[in-house]
Structure 1
Amino acid sequence: MSTPRPAVPADAEELVELRSLMFEAMHGEARPGPWRGTAADLLVRRLSEPERRLQAYVVDDPERPGRLLSCAIGTLEQRLPAPGHPDGLFGFVFNVCTRPEERGRGHARACLEALLAWFDARGATRVDLHATEDGQQLYRSLGFRGHSTPLSRQRPAADLATG
């Protein structure tokens, strides 16, 4: 059985590596670039906050200290209250990944269950995520269901290059 623990700032580089593996699984590639350093810096800062709004749970590699096998990362968001969401607290899971050679051993489930318990303890009334085909069975087994059709807007590529 996998035993997750809360991530600490020293885990930032490994969390970015797992995030890169997630993008590789989703898109067939994980582009290198400055995003990695920015993500690591952000993780160090956010994982150091006493009142965390970002939380990550990880499973350590028992054979290689400092190496992570799996993670689940999410944020607690304050939105305006609404019917069914009296405090306006929502969770968003944006990174669940297990190293390819370690998949199917319950690591992602253990990390995600810990993250969901963290959201529950803080009163989040809904938790959202974007799922790949590979992850849908896990998420559905933990109570996730389809929701209204999401729409997104992304800045045009030209703006991203100059912004």
Structure 2
Amino acid sequence: MTDVRPAVPADAPELVRLRNLMFEAMPSMAALAGPGPWQATAEQILRERLAVPAEDLTMPVFVVDAPGRPGRLAACAVGTLEQRLPGPGSPDGRFGSVFNICTDPDHRLRGYARACTEALLAWFDERRAGRIDLHASSGGEALYRSLGFGEYSTALSRRRSY
């Protein structure tokens, strides 16, 4: 059995390292991956968001430690919980987003990403998130489908780069 745990603020540098590995593996982002000011900002946000009391947490992060490598992470799953106004399709108005699932290349094919993602989905279920969205890479699509994800149409999106 894989030992999954909630991330703590001290995990922030490793979470940023894994996030960069995820970008390196994405054809549309690979050229942008690597050192940059986004990493310090991401680390700061993670430290702050992971330091809140459990009942106030809106950025859940689950990790697997790298076996035999203290302080190193093998995998992670990161999400956010958003409170929207309730509606007929979501009586509690809670929506989840999954945006960072990554396994270090040295630790792939051991079920770590699945274990982290299952822990994240259980966390969302405990909070009654009516819908959970993610954008799947081709490498992760089979995993997410096996966990119950499918297509959901969003009519329009607006994107800006600052």
Give the unaligned 5+ runs of structure 2: none
Aligned CA-pair RMSD: 1.2
Stretches (4+) displaced over 3 A: none
Q: Secondary structure at the match of 1:70?
A: strand
The CA distance in 2 between the partners of 1:25 and 1:44, in whole Å, is 25
The count of corresponding residues between Structure 1 and Structure 2 is 157
Distance 1:84 1:11, change over 3 A: same
Q: Secondary structure at the match of 1:65?
A: coil
Equivalent runs, 1:75-86 vs 2, <5 Å: 75-86=80-91
> Match for residue 34 of structure 2?
31
Deviations along 1:63-119, whole A, 9 cap, x unmatched? 110000000000110111111200100110010000112111100000000000000
Task: Confirm or deny: 8 A CA contact 2:98 2:133 kept in the other structure.
Answer: yes
Task: Confirm or deny: 8 A CA contact 2:66 2:107 kept in the other structure.
Answer: no
Equivalent runs, 1:85-104 vs 2, <5 Å: 85-104=90-109
Q: Secondary structure at the match of 2:140?
A: helix
Q: Secondary structure at the match of 1:134?
A: coil
Task: Confirm or deny: 8 A CA contact 2:22 2:102 kept in the other structure.
Answer: yes
> Match for residue 121 of structure 1?
126
The CA distance in 2 between the partners of 1:57 and 1:16, in whole Å, is 14
The CA distance in 2 between the partners of 1:151 and 1:31, in whole Å, is 30
Structure-1-length-normalised TM-score: 0.92
Q: Secondary structure at the match of 2:34?
A: coil
The CA distance in 1 between the partners of 2:144 and 2:51, in whole Å, is 28
Residue 67 of structure 2 is aligned to residue 67 of structure 1: no
Structure-2-length-normalised TM-score: 0.93
Q: Percent identity?
A: 63
Q: C-alpha displacement at 1:152, in angstroms?
A: 2.8
> Match for residue 107 of structure 1?
112
> Match for residue 46 of structure 1?
49
